[in-house]
Copies of this chain bind each other. A is one copy, B any other.
Amino acid sequence: MGSIRARIEVALARSLPGAQQAPARLHQAMRYAALEGGKRVRPLLTFAAGELAGADPARLEVAACAVEMIHTYSLVHDDLPCMDDDRLRRNKPTVHVEYDEATALLVGDALQTLAFQLLSEHALTDDPALRLTMVNTLALAAGSRGMAGGQAIDLEATGKTLSQAELEYMHVRKTGALISAAVKLGALCAGPCPAALEQYANRVGLAFQVVDDVLDREASSATLGKTAGKDAKQGKPTYVSTLGVARASQFAEELRCGAHAALEGFGERALRLRQLADFIVLRKF
C-alpha cells in the first residue's frame, strides 16, 4: 500500500496548480490543504477497485486525485468557524488558521472545481460517455443529496438523539457517498462498475464512519492528527452516543465481514480491497 500511497502523493502534487502560479496565495493554500498528511483512504480505494477491474494506473491517478480534491474541500469547509470551528487537521493548523477564513472558503471552492476539471480534461476511459458517467457519479456523491446533504443533516441533528436508522441515513450521505464514488470511479476507468463492488463500497463507507466515531471517543488528538472528543463536546449524535463503544465496535466488525463477503466472487484480484476494509476498521487513527 505504501508504494501506491507515494504514487498518489506525487499525482496530487502534480494535479494542483503550482505554488508560484498566480494567484499564488490561493494556490499555496490549496496545496497546503491537499498535500502531506491524510490517510488517502479514498484514493487507495480508487486504485484497489481499478486494479481489480483491470484499469490503467495512469488513469486511476487522475480519478483518485479528483475524489481526494472533493474530500479535501469538504474538510477545509467543515473546519471553518461557522461549521466545526476546528484548529487542527492532519497534524497541522487548519487552513483558515494558517491563512484566513476568506482564503479557506476559496480553497474549498476551487478544490471542488478542480475535481471536475480533472475528470473532464484527462482521457480516463476511451469512451467519452463513460467519462460523463464519472463526472455525474462524483457530482451526485458530493452534492445536496450526497455529501453536502449529509453535512446539512448533521447540522440539524446536533443536540438531538438519533436512532441507528437515522444515523445511517445521515452517514450514508455524509461519508458513504464519496467513499462509494471512490470505488466506482476506479472501476469505471476500466468499464461499467460491477454491482458487488458497490455493495463492498457501501459497507466500507459506513464502517469508516462508525470507526471514526469510536476513535473520536477513544483516541487522543495527537494520534488522530485532529481534535479528539469533539463529537460529545458539540452534542453530535454518533454511533457511540447511540450504541455505546462496544456495540459500535461490533457493528464496525460486522460491516468489515460484510465487505469481505461482497468480494467473494473476485478471488485474488480483490486482495487490496480486502486489505483496505481491514485497514479502515482496524486502524487506530
Taking Cβ atoms with an 8 Å cutoff, the residues of A that contact B are: 17, 21-23, 25-27, 30, 73, 77, 80, 82-83, 100-103, 105-106, 108-110, 112-114, 116-117, 119-121, 128-129, 131-133, 135-136, 138-140, 142-145, 148-149, 151-153, 155-156
Contact = CB atoms under 8 A, between A and B. Distances in A.
Nearest to A108: B109
5 contacts: A80-B82, A83-B105, A117-B143, A120-B132, A120-B135
B77 A151 contact: no
B112 A112 contact: yes
Given A25-B156, A152-B23, A136 B121 contact: yes
B17 A151 contact: no
A152 to B, nearest CB: 4
A119 B138 CA distance: 12
A23 B155 CA distance: 11
A159 to B, nearest CB: 14
A153 to B, nearest CB: 5
Contact of A153 (B23, B83, B133): B23
Contact of A102 (B17, B128, B144, B155): B155
Contacts of A135: 116, 119-120, 132, 135
Contacts of A153: 22-23
A26 to B, nearest CB: 4
A133 B117 CA distance: 10
Contacts of A83: 102, 105
A75 to B, nearest CB: 12
Contacts of A133: 120
Nearest to A16: B144
A117 B132 contact: no
